[in-house]
Amino acid sequence: MDKNHQVIADFSIVPLGQNETSVGHYVAAAVKAFKNIKGLDYEITAMGTVLGAKDLDTIFEAVKQAHEAVIAQGVKRVESTLRIDDRRDKQRTMDDKVKAVKAYMKQV
C-alpha cells in the first residue's frame, strides 16, 4: 500500500433510549476515546466526525473505542453510521479533499 494512502471516513454515533434530546456529552466521550488511537486524525463537525488513518483497521478501532466509551456512560444501546472513502488511485487527505471542493467552487 502507498505510504501516503489515507482512508477517510465520516462517523456519527447516537445513544438510544436515554430520554433526552441532547447527546453532546455522549459524543464528547466518544471523541475523547479517539485520543488513544495511534495514527488517527479526526475533525469534529456539527453532524459527525471525519476520521483519517493509513488503514481501515485504525478506523474500525476508533469506531469500536467510541462505542465502548458511550456504553461506559451507562448507555444500553448505541447506533452509529460509518461512511468510508478508501481511495487507492490517488493520494488524498481530509484537508486535501476540502481544498479540492473549494477550488471547484471558484470555477463555478
The CATH number given to whatever domain includes residue 81 is 3.30.70.930
Q: Tell me the residue type at 2.
A: D
Query: Can you tell me the mean pLDDT for 70-76?
Result: 95
For residue 2, which phi and psi values (nearest 5 degrees)?
-60, 135
Q: What are the pLDDT digits (tens) for 26-51?
A: 999 999 999 989 999 999 999 999 99
Residue-number span of the structural domain to which 17 is assigned: 7-107
Q: Is residue 95 part of a domain?
A: yes
Q: 19 pLDDT exceeds 90?
A: no
Total domain count, the chain = 1
Is residue 81 situated within a structural domain? Answer: yes
Pairwise pLDDT comparison (61 vs 96), residue with the higher score = 61
Q: Given a cut of 70, is residue 13 above it in pLDDT? A: yes
- Averaged pLDDT of the chain: 91
Write out the three cell numbers for 83.
461512511
Return d(Cα 5, Cα 104) in angstroms, integer: 23
Considering the entire predicted model, what is its pTM? 0.85
Residue 1, domain member (yes or no): no
Q: Edge-to-edge, what's the strand order for the sheet holding 77-85?
A: 41-44, 49-53, 7-16, 77-85
Q: Is residue 12 part of a domain?
A: yes
* Spatial separation of the C-alpha atoms in residues 99 and 52, rounded to whole Å: 16
